[in-house]
Chains A and B, each alone.
Chain A
Amino acid sequence: MKHDDPFRIARKQSHVGRYVLISGVMGWFVLLILFPVFSIVKEAFSDGFPVFFRTLTESSALKPFGLTLWITVGTIIINTVFGTILAITLVKHEFHGKLFIEGLVDLPFAVSPVVAGFMFIILFGPNGWIGKWFEAEGIKIVYAFPGMLLATLFVTLPFVAREIIPVLKEFGLQQEESAYVLGASKWQTFWKVTLPSVKWGLAYGMTLTIARSIGEFGAVLVVSGSIINKTQTATLLIHQEFTDFNYVGAFSAAIVLAFTSFFILTIMQRVYKRKGES
């Protein structure tokens, strides 16, 4: 009987294909993700845990992490508010130039962060079109916190808006109209009906924004000038330590960033699941 089974050979072949496929994927993951992570951990702890810990708690390391934190906090607040307003405006209102704006929302995805950084230097630098006005008032934008925040805002601009726009589109108008008929004002409707409906999309957009703000390198490097102890974020610190051959310092900081990313990734996946359910 067995020999008559015409699918037997095909099945056997598909088994072979399965193993090839799975081991291929595994190998690729090990090569691209596990090995690098392992090597960085090994390097960071090469002088033992006390050295790792001391390196991280030095003020020269704490300051950049603090800066990264503040940039991230600022970015998340501003971009959540602005991204929500942007999405609502694009979905609910018809106006001239809407298509133009809609296309422009994705620009930060397409433009290299380094190029973005240079755009801000040209605009906000001491001799820039806008920068010279601030310079006259004694306010520094480029090579200072405001410029770094602006650059991070730019590269993370699409995340929140892009995540909410499809949810809002699907959400449609009727639930809001229901609320109006029931006596709710536009403001009440926004807080009680619209926002709760897009909350998981919003949360996903926010986690993406956080992840990107923490990891941003190119744009911030250009705009900040990477001034040690002043305008260095965590990623810039890692770069600095690495070029100074201080591998323990570089990799210790890198591990902290890597674990933060891992943590955010976990949150992100949970949020993503909820977003899919709602």
Chain B
Amino acid sequence: MGILINNISKKFGDFVAVDNVTFNVNSGELVALLGPSGSGKSTILRIIAGLETPNRGEIYLTGRDVTSMATQKRNVGFVFQHYALFKHMTAEKNISFGLEIQKQKKDYIQRKVNELIDLVKLKGYEKHYPDQLSGGQRQRVALARALATEPKVLLLDEPFGALDAKVRDNLAQWLRDFHDQLHITSIFVTHDQEEAIKIADKIVVINRGRVEQEGTAREVYEHPRTKFVASFIGQVNVLDAISRDNQLFIKDTEFRIENRGKHTIPEGDVVLLVRPEDIEIFPESQTLAVPASINRAHYRGNHYEIDCEIGRTFLRTVENKNRFLRYHWKRGQKIFLSFKSFRTFMAEEGHKKIHEKLKELGYIE
């Protein structure tokens, strides 16, 4: 048994930061708590570590109820967002801090520190102070420090948040490999869905203090259970449509999209969510392809993003470089769009809300 979070709630004054959250982490798993900033994910992490006390609910670590246990006794490793290294101590002293507190034997501490220095690849930097180390190195010292006392659980708060893109990418992969070596039950908090998809065994999507969905990266990405999950994980286009006779009509047009899913869509106003990569562009008419025009093409290095227009609705699609060059997509060009897969949600489920949320996240304007 790894970690079980049962019905946790936490209020700060009138603000509900965590609202009845339940999820579990199997022993040896690496789980991502994914959500926008202010969603309460860090608070959940702090509650697990005992740095915040929940108003309600229980926390079990390796089968034991630790809800009322002091932070000091929980034996968790915690890596803070900005590392929180002890500035007046060398890398070595930072790492040995927990062991010194436990009053371990000197030679044991020395052996353990050497081991960890090797593990996080910081040989030669033992005597450096935090401000003499790069961001990535500090991050690794923080990790080694957290691991020194051999915690049963490792908690990481935005572990790569303060690093630049390249280092971030390498370190994320390194953390995954590292986790595969040690198999320590770990939770990391992130707002970066790519990072979560890349390295987590399981993703728990948090929004407004609640769990929206939990599952593997594939489950969460391909089968989002709520509109929030669909829009937060990956990019998504939002279309207003009307459902009639199991067919979808894009609002203000006569264009029809066939419902290819197994479920019939209830009649009425619906919101259609389509990922850019699920829209295929054709130069000529296809069955069930919707006529559109190209508004703009953005160069993105290894691919292109193309803004299209159907009637008065704007959509974003992606096109790989080779296809883009083959078809010479140009501004104003007439094209046909085929929707490979999409999800629908009833508009009255809070159509407005999702629009606001998406605007806030910058997916639509």
Interface residues of A (CB under 8 A from B): 174-175, 177-185, 188, 192-193, 196-197, 199, 278
Contact = CB atoms under 8 A, between A and B. Distances in A.
A210 B86 CA distance: 30
Contact of A175 (B75, B84, B148): B84
Contact of B101 (A188, A196, A197): A188
B139 interface: no
B172 to A, nearest CB: 22
A179 to B, nearest CB: 7
Given A178-B78, A179-B97, A197 B88 contact: yes
Nearest to B142: A178
B77 interface: yes
Instruction: Tell me which of B88, B145, B149 has the highest count of chain A C-beta atoms within 10 A of its own C-beta.
Output: B88
Given A175-B86, A177-B51, A182 B145 contact: yes
Given A178-B80, A181-B50, A183-B101, 20 more contacts: A174-B82, A175-B86, A177-B84, A179-B101, A180-B72, A181-B72, A181-B74, A181-B76, A182-B98, A182-B101, A182-B145, A182-B146, A182-B149, A183-B98, A183-B102, A183-B149, A184-B97, A192-B97, A197-B87, A197-B88
29 contacts: A175-B84, A175-B85, A175-B86, A177-B51, A178-B78, A178-B80, A178-B86, A180-B71, A180-B72, A181-B49, A181-B50, A181-B72, A181-B74, A181-B76, A181-B78, A181-B146, A182-B98, A182-B146, A183-B72, A183-B75, A183-B101, A183-B102, A183-B149, A184-B72, A185-B72, A193-B86, A196-B88, A197-B88, A278-B87
A193 B85 CA distance: 10
Nearest to A277: B131
Interface residues of B, number: 26
Contacts of B80: 174, 177-178
Nearest to B82: A174
Interface string B303-316: 00000000000000
Nearest to A195: B88
Contacts of A183: 72-73, 75, 98, 101-102, 149
A181 B51 contact: yes
A274 to B, nearest CB: 12
Contacts of A192: 97
A178 B98 CA distance: 10
B158 to A, nearest CB: 12
A184 to B, nearest CB: 5
A175 B71 contact: no
Contacts of A185: 72
Instruction: Tell me which of A185, A192, A196 has the highest count of chain B C-beta atoms within 10 A of its own C-beta.
Output: A192
A188 B100 CA distance: 11
Nearest to B93: A192
B97 A182 contact: yes
Nearest to B102: A183
B349 to A, nearest CB: 40
A184 B101 CA distance: 6
A174 B102 CA distance: 20
A203 B333 CA distance: 73
Nearest to A200: B88
A188 to B, nearest CB: 6
A178 B101 contact: no
A184 B99 CA distance: 10
Nearest to B76: A181
Interface in B48-101: 49-51, 71-78, 80, 82, 84-88, 97-98, 101
Instruction: Tell me which of A181, A192, A199 has the highest count of chain B C-beta atoms within 10 A of its own C-beta.
Output: A181
Contacts of A177: 51, 71, 78, 80, 84
Nearest to A174: B84
A183 to B, nearest CB: 5
A57 B97 CA distance: 52
A199 B77 CA distance: 28
A174 B71 CA distance: 14
A19 to B, nearest CB: 41
